[in-house]
Amino acid sequence: MSGYTSTFTLVLVCLAAWAHWSVQAKAHDMHLHQHYLRLKVCDRRGGGAYCSWGATRGYVGPLDSAANIKEALEATQYKKELILFSEDRMPEATQSLARFRNAGYSHIIGILPELAECHRLAHIFAPWTHEHGPLQCGTYATRDPSGKPYPVGFPFLARGIGMTVWWRKWYTAARAVALGYNVLALDSDNLVLGDLYWRVKAPDSPLSEINLFTQAECGDCVNSGFVYIQNAAPNGPIAWMLYDMVLKVVRWAEDPSGIFDLSPKAKAANWIWSDDQESMSDVLYSAITGKPRFFILAHNLNMHKDEEAYKKLGVANGDELMKNIKPPKDKWTFKKYDLAGTPLAEVACDHLPDLERCRREVAAATTHLMTAELQMPHCGGEWPGSLGGYPFNKTLGPIALAYRQSFKDLGVPLPPDPEDPATEAAARATRKEKYGLVHVRPGMEGGVYPAGWLEGTWFRTGRHGLWHTHLLQHEFQSFAHIHASLFPGDFQKQLVMQAAGIYDWRVGARLAGGANRPYYLYDDSERTPQPELRRVVAYLDGVVGPWLSKKEVIAAANGLAQVAVALGAAAAWPAVDCSSDWVQLRPGMTGYSALLRAAANTTTAAGSAASGSAPAPAGSAAPVMEHSIPWSYLDTSFQAVPFGPSLRALKCMWPGFTWRDCLTSRRPHRPPVGRGLTPVEFEHLVQLSERQLAAEHAHWWDQRQRLRQVQPWLPSFGPVLRLAKDGPAATPLSAAPGAAPPPAPGAGALLHAVRYDELLELNVEALLQGGGAGGGVGGAGGPEPSVPVLWVDRLVGGVEGLRGEAAALYGNWTKECRGLRYYDIPERDRTNW
């Protein structure tokens, strides 16, 4: 009986332990699910009319034939709406798809070069099919029927002009509009922050009159990274624009003689340039003025500086040609829309990033948009040289004819041909459509950032925190484009998404092949295998304090890099305290020095007010800066990238360590170096590890968190390294690193020197056991996550006696990683970071 009782008791204990683990695991899974559920924005406005989870049929296959494209678009569309992008880089493709599906928009199709990549995409997203529905992905033939590769992987391009991914996207968009769909055509670096559909389609939205929206690249030209088309006629001006912006590139790729006859220098170089936004500006100007003109041609001739070509056209230079080509000012209208009393007043503000003004002026909301009427252009039998002449061979080649036939095969009428005299009357009779150019204004009229609440850019709004929607009460923009003026580095756009809390780490992990692998130190874009991540060395929170200068932070990072290579670990590049003087836009006005000055003034005033009492001593810890959005007080142009789960826990990332050579160990034609994690990557790794430990070792995790309530300086897991046998670096940690009286700015940081042999000897147990059980001090033993973290509790200036492979790695690293050798770089080459 006693044996039965003990067995039964054991079973109960095991069941209780399993139940506790299950509850912990489910709680952490739910927390993770809630994080991504927060990104669902489709139902925050307008009743979720365009949320499409589970409403698409899914498609993986070719897009070439009329039957193919019709099947693919019908499987993708939701209420006649389509979202599409084209990519040839899998990290960008997966994250772009994830952002839209997480936002609630499953009616998106990705266009990739090969069918195998589409199938890989489907595999990556398989875990979320039950919630989001199947995905859509299509391809165009990269080889002809005999198996011979097309010159640039697209049936209609006989030579490379710009990037093939552009023309795949716009060919698809042109066919979709011809088939009667509304199309949101985007670059893969767009973010979804709010519901665009509600903003432009609501019955009381005056913007519902606009048929074509684009981002501005300049005051009157297009950035085609963000384009939305609604209610456009299948054979109207916008349909013609999309059709022709690809056709002209197809014609020049097949037969460049029209340009080469005009420009001897272009012929000698055997080179023609066009990007998609120049091609779209080209057709836009033609549609605004009603007469074909060639903006791209002006760019080509300017690049070649071909005086003979200018002479043939009858213009003095490229500037005169450009001036002739652009529509006159009277073709543009800077239109004011009154939104007072409408739901749009809550979100429409032309004064971003000034959120205080936006909140203050809600009741009297107006917005502005640069608009123009679009008409079907026609040559009228004239091709004046002042507008670029006629830069084509008049006889279409077989490729151009095949392109035209692919539209006829759709079974819808083509727009009137602007070159055919017989279509002039039809062109003039075609219904006009309306265009809106976001962000621009004439002179000083209207709002500071017209219609920036529809779509915004990094430099204008993103860097000020408006994309960190988890830190805001509600979104202030519907879309965002990570466009231009970014900080230096090799992974800027992905880092922007990670810092803003929009990056999907789950998808990154599935692409990389493991939960511990979605980091740049595993980057395989150069097809060079990277070693496994065995452990990470990191400074404890508070060690890199706000009193440190930029030079001291970089010195401490060099010390950490030496510890990392000594212990066979990756370095977690330290986050910077956002109150540090050197990341302020106006140092001394805000930041650490200003906080200390304010604290001293408060203390003096309090001491003077208290009768018979002396001034109170300085505080026992560094003052804390309260952050807010917009954080325009921070130098976010090139110095700091803020991130964090809350404003109170905000950290800053210096971009100096975001170069590939600071993160990946192996690259072609370069000796091996150390490895690093960006601060935002390391924060993700810590959160992943905490979830793992809480789920798998619930009892230990509970005990650890109780211990941290008594000893808050302890890390949530992992050992604190022992750095020396004696001296200042050997003193055991007895308080939080930032709890000492705050030093004055510029007082000089104590950078400890540690010895290589002692570092290995003192931490051998932690290294042998994966960095966990029994290792370190201060109760740091216990289970470890998949990637152990070894914590450093004080600043290290260097490791003395470094030798062998470790010395070679660090020596190579200081030559390659710009962040480590920052102060050895000429000052003129580091002014912006």
Q: pLDDT tens digits for 776-785?
A: 333 446 898 9
Q: Which amino acid type is present at position 680?
A: V
The answer on 439 and 499 residing in a single domain is no
Q: Is pLDDT above 50 for 25?
A: no
Q: Which amino acid type is present at position 281?
A: S
CB 111 within 8 A of CB 86: yes
CA separation for the pair 344, 362 (Å, rounded)? 9
Q: Which amino acid type is present at position 362?
A: V
Among 77-86, 125-134, 293-302, 787-796, the range scoring the smallest mean pLDDT is 293-302
Per DSSP, helices labelled H in 664-773 are 679-696, 698-710, 756-762, 764-768
The answer on 531 and 417 residing in a single domain is no
- Check residue 603 and give its pLDDT: 61
CB 294 within 8 A of CB 232: no
Share of the chain above pLDDT 70, in %: 90
pLDDT band at 740 (very low <50, low <70, confident <90, very high): low
CB 734 within 8 A of CB 720: no
Tokens of residue 334, six digits: 């800077």
- Check residue 701 and give its pLDDT: 95
CA separation for the pair 185, 153 (Å, rounded)? 21
CA dihedral 244, 245, 248, 252 (to 10 degrees): -160
Sequence-distant contacts of 593-598: CB under 8 A, at least 24 apart: 593/745, 595/622, 595/623, 595/624, 595/625, 596/623, 596/742, 596/744, 596/745, 598/623
- Check residue 306 and give its pLDDT: 87
CA separation for the pair 826, 627 (Å, rounded)? 34
pLDDT digits (tens, 9 = 90+) for 587-638: 989 999 999 998 888 766 555 544 443 333 334 467 889 999 999 999 999 9
Instruction: Between 157 and 740, name the one with better pLDDT.
Output: 157
Q: Is pLDDT above 50 for 640?
A: yes
CA separation for the pair 753, 29 (Å, rounded)? 42
Residue 208's domain comprises: 203-443
Average confidence (pLDDT) over 331-335? 95
Among 55-59, 462-466, 713-717, the range scoring the smallest mean pLDDT is 713-717
Average confidence (pLDDT) over 501-522? 96
- Check residue 607 and give its pLDDT: 55
At 357, which helix (H) or strand (E)? Answer: helix 355-360
Let me know if residue 13 belongs to a domain.
Answer: no
Let me know if residue 560 belongs to a domain.
Answer: yes
Report the number of distinct structural domains present in the chain. Answer: 2
The answer on 500 and 393 residing in a single domain is no
The answer on 521 and 424 residing in a single domain is no
The answer on 678 and 785 residing in a single domain is yes
The answer on 777 and 720 residing in a single domain is yes
Average confidence (pLDDT) over 491-515? 96
Among 139-143, 151-155, 322-326, the range scoring the smallest mean pLDDT is 322-326
Beta strands 455-457; 676-677: pairing state: unpaired
* Mean of the per-residue pLDDT values of the chain: 90
- Check residue 302 and give its pLDDT: 75
Please return the burial class of 242, using the count of CB atoms within 10 Å of its CB with bins 0-12, 13-18 and 19+: buried
CB 578 within 8 A of CB 650: yes
pLDDT digits (tens, 9 = 90+) for 555-597: 999 999 999 999 999 999 999 999 999 999 999 899 999 999 9
Question: Which residues touch 429 (CB under 8 Å, ≥6 apart)?
Answer: none
The answer on 424 and 313 residing in a single domain is yes
Tokens of residue 85, six digits: 């992008």
- Check residue 31 and give its pLDDT: 56
The answer on 412 and 509 residing in a single domain is no
Q: Is pLDDT above 80 for 56?
A: yes
Strand ranges of the sheet holding 212-218, from the earlier edge strand across to the other edge = 59-62, 136-139, 108-111, 81-86, 182-186, 221-229, 212-218, 433-438, 366-374, 333-338
- Check residue 153 and give its pLDDT: 97
Let me know if residue 533 belongs to a domain.
Answer: yes
Let me know if residue 40 belongs to a domain.
Answer: no
Residue that terminates a domain, selected from 402, 428, 443 = 443
Average confidence (pLDDT) over 750-770? 88
The answer on 661 and 809 residing in a single domain is yes
Residue that terminates a domain, selected from 443, 464, 479 = 443
Instruction: Between 805 and 273, name the one with better pLDDT.
Output: 805
pLDDT digits (tens, 9 = 90+) for 661-690: 999 999 998 899 999 999 999 999 999 999
Share of the chain above pLDDT 90, in %: 76
Tokens of residue 271, six digits: 């080179």
The answer on 650 and 798 residing in a single domain is yes
- Per-position b or e across 410-423, b if 16+ CB within 10 A of its CB: eebebbbbbeeeeb
Tokens of residue 16, six digits: 């209780």
CB 52 within 8 A of CB 131: no
Instruction: Between 481 and 273, name the one with better pLDDT.
Output: 481
